[in-house]
Structure formats: C-alpha cells, structure tokens
Amino acid sequence: MLLDNKKVAIIGGGPGGLTLARLLQQDGVDVKVYERDENRNVRQQGSTLDLHDDTGLKAIIKAGLLDEFKKKYRPGADKMKITNRNMEVVFSDHDEKPNEDFGNEHFRPEIDRGPLRDLLIASLKEENIVWNSKFTEMKREGEGWQIFFENGTTAYADFVIASDGANSRVRKYITDIKPIFSGVTAIEINIYNAPKNAPKLWNFVNDGKIFALEEGKTVLLSAKGDGTLSVLIGSKTEQEWISDSGIDFKNKTSVAEWFKEEFSNWNSEWQELFQSDEISIIPRPMYHFPLDQYWEPLSNLTMIGDAAHRMPPYAGEGANQALADALELHEVLMSKLFVNLKDAVAFFEKRMVARTSEITEVTLQQTEAMHDENNLQLLLDFFDENINSQF
C-alpha cells in the first residue's frame, strides 16, 4: 500500500477532511486531523446540507456511517417555497413533495452541519483528531513536511492533505493560482432560537427552505434542527464592496440600515431578520477558481474541498464535492495500480479538477441566474424543467 509506514496529516476538520480520515482509518492508515477549533463543541455556522446520491451520500455509505446518518438527518427539511419580495408564495412543494427515500437517485436527505460533524468525529479514534491546531506554515523535512501551528506545537507528516477551506493556508504550497470574484456578495446571518427571536420568519419557513428573490436580489432561508434560522442575503456588487460600503458588519444596526435601504421595496416583515441580538453576521464575497486550473502534482501533498475548488454555494455542491474528493482520494491511495504517490496524486487531481470544473461552471450559471433582474422567473423555469424531467 502506498501509505504503508507513513504518517498522514489532514489539515482541517470539515466534512471532507473528517470523511477522508474515517476512510483511511478503516484501512489502518496512521492518520491525524489537525483542526483549528479549540474543541468539538464549537458552534457550527452555515445552512443545512443536502447530500447527493452519487457524491456525498455515496461517501457516507463507503465510510460505513449510513445508519448513524439516518439517526441524525432531518426528514422533510428539503421541502421548499419560492416567494417574491412581498412574501407571496409562487411555488411550494410542502404539500406535494414526493415520498423519496434512500436508494432513490433523486433523494437528497438534509442534515445540519453540526450533527454531520458530530457523527464523523464519533467515527474516529480520539487520538486521530488534534484540536486547537491552527496551521501557520510547513517546511520540507526529508520526503515529508514539518507542520507548525499557532499554539507553538509542530507535527511531522510524510503526506499532507489540505482540507482547510476556501481561505486555505496550505494551498499556496501547491499552486499560486488565485480565486476569481464572481460578481456576487452575500451576507450570512444566523438567528439563534429563531422560534422566539424571529417567529414570523421561522413559521414561514416551516422547517424547510425559502428562496425569496426578485430584481436581482436574493434572500435564502433555511431552518436548522436546533432552532437556528440560517439566512443568505445576496446581490451583485463590486469586488471591494465590503470595505467600500461603509457598513460595519460587526454592528447589527449598521447592517439593518443597509438592508432597509437596499431592499426598500421588499415587504417590511423582512426586517424581522434584525430584530434579535442573538445573531451572527458574516459578509461573504463569492469567489471561484479558474475552470482550467492546473498545477504540477507533488508526491507528498494534495488538497480537497474548497481549498481545491472553491465556488459559490447556490448549487449546493460544496460539501458534496468535498465528500466526493475524500472518496476518490481514498480509492486512489488504496489502489495497487500506482507505483508511487506522485502518480496516484496526479491521477486523483486530474480527475478531481475535471469533475469540479464542470460543477463550477454550472454553479456560476446558476449564481448569475439567481442575481439576474429576471431571477424569479428564471428560478421558476429551472424548477419546472427539473421536476418534469424526473417523471
């Protein structure tokens, strides 16, 4: 086996990195995940994830975690409504959602990021996750790497996998290719204890998702099992909009004032987004990597997930592609078809880039459509076409 007697380090404990660690652990590989969070109890942000049959769910099954997944996923959380700016529902599948189940290629079970992370962590040996390990740099040592962390600790690994997200610090050791701004910036808001702090919107979402859009603007909402309402407010902007806008994103009132002005012709009940102080607000400019990106493969380092193929979230592919990366990299590293790690890495990266370039292209098309002046009708047409194609 290519990894016999080798130490493997995965930088970053997101879904992709943890899934890869689980797969490698099953085959007896000496693997450790180095995660920047202080412990496993750090609150997980972001919306609910839907896992796809041929990528995310396939990796969960291969990792032997389907039974645990079934205990934690949220049946019915994939139901959705599409509304205009006045909260008038123009599409809903709440009453007509088909009874899909595991084994159906169209079934996309939803799970919150926290429970997904918990089940992946629980599947690993305690010593295989090293918490409070914020990566700072790496230096070549022999045929491997000496890895340095902010807390002053170090670790040696023969083979390193960067799984440290869209703002990866490890990626630069592989390539200097920079991300490209998509033309869209989103503001991510998490409203905690939403049944109390945003009751109208919480009831409107009804434990599912809402796509509210019109005239190039979007407000996407999704309910989480812990009572959090996750919100993504998107619009077309210049690349430097966050710094040039004058908005203090650490001040809820400043963001609320911007929203009231920018979304002035939207129903006033959207203002409930800013009613509570129990919220987090994070601006997120949307970037992607070039569709034709290429780098020379290395024998001791590769990357997966957003570190390798960052893209906007509007197609729901980020986590699924990261899990697909984990599955494919594991298969390559366990294969007997390659005589050395460099050849294995080259094969994996070529296939990964081809797959995710296609997904990125589709995602960019959907991102553009979501923020087109005619976005509401374009989304309705998209769902009508895709629903009809399933029958």
> Is the pLDDT confidence value at 266 over 80?
yes
For residue 387, the tally of other CB atoms under 10 A from its CB is 14
Summarize the confidence of residues 251-267 as an average pLDDT: 96
pLDDT at 58: 96
Cα radius of gyration rounded to whole Å, the chain = 21
pLDDT-derived band at 388 (thresholds 50, 70, 90) equals: very low
Read off the pLDDT of each residue in 219-226 and give the average, rounded to a whole number.
Answer: 95
Do 231 and 189 touch, CB atoms closer than 8 A? yes
The confidence score (pLDDT) of residue 98 equals 62
Annotated binding residues for NADPH, as ranges?
A: 43
Q: How confident is the model at residue 390 (pLDDT cuts 50, 70, 90)?
A: very low
pLDDT computed for residue 42 by the predictor: 80
> What does the pLDDT look like over 68-120, one tens digit per residue?
999 999 998 989 999 999 999 999 988 776 667 888 888 889 999 999 999 99
pTM of the model: 0.94
**Amino acid sitting at position 221:** L
pLDDT at 37 over 80: yes
User: pLDDT at position 386, please?
Assistant: 64
Q: In terms of DSSP bridges, do strands 80-83 and 89-92 run parallel, antiparallel, or are they unpaired?
A: antiparallel
**Backbone torsion region of residue 385, taken as left when φ is above 0, otherwise alpha when ψ lies between -120 and 50, otherwise beta:** alpha
pLDDT exceeds cutoff 60 at 121: yes
pLDDT digits (tens, 9 = 90+) for 305-315: 999 999 999 88
Q: Are strands 229-236 and 217-223 parallel, antiparallel or unpaired?
A: antiparallel
3-state secondary structure of 240: coil
Per DSSP, what are the bridge partners of residue 231? 189, 221
Question: Please, what is the average pLDDT of the chain?
Answer: 94
Quick: pLDDT tens for 135-151.
999 999 999 999 999 99
Mark the binding-site residues, compressed into ranges: 43, 50, 113, 306
**Least confident range of 40-49, 183-192, 254-263:** 40-49
Domain annotation for the chain: domains and CATH numbers: 7-74+113-178+290-370 (3.50.50.60), 183-288 (3.30.9.30)
Q: Is the pLDDT of residue 126 over 70?
A: yes
pLDDT at 49: 92
User: What is the structure's pLDDT at 106?
Assistant: 81
Beta bridge partners of 374: none
Phi, psi for 228 (deg, rounded to 5): -85, 140
Q: What is the pLDDT of residues 327-382, one digit of tens each?
A: 999 999 999 999 999 999 999 999 999 999 999 999 999 999 999 999 999 999 88
**Model confidence at 301: pLDDT above 50:** yes
Q: With CA atoms as reference, report the closest residue to 130 among 50, 224, 33.
A: 33
CA distance 325 to 304: 6
| Residue at token pair 């389907």 | 66
Please report, rounded to a whole number, the percentage of residues in the chain having pLDDT higher than 90: 88
Quick one: which of 301, 287, 302, 212 has its CA closest to 242? Answer: 287
pLDDT at 249: 96
pLDDT of residue 342: 98
pLDDT class of 391 with cuts at 50, 70, 90: very low
The residue-averaged pLDDT of 112-131 equals 96
Q: What contacts 178, CB < 8 A, 6 or more positions away?
A: none
Binding-site residue set for FAD = 50, 113, 306
Whole-angstrom CA distances from 50 to 109, 251, 298, 388 are 5, 31, 33, 21
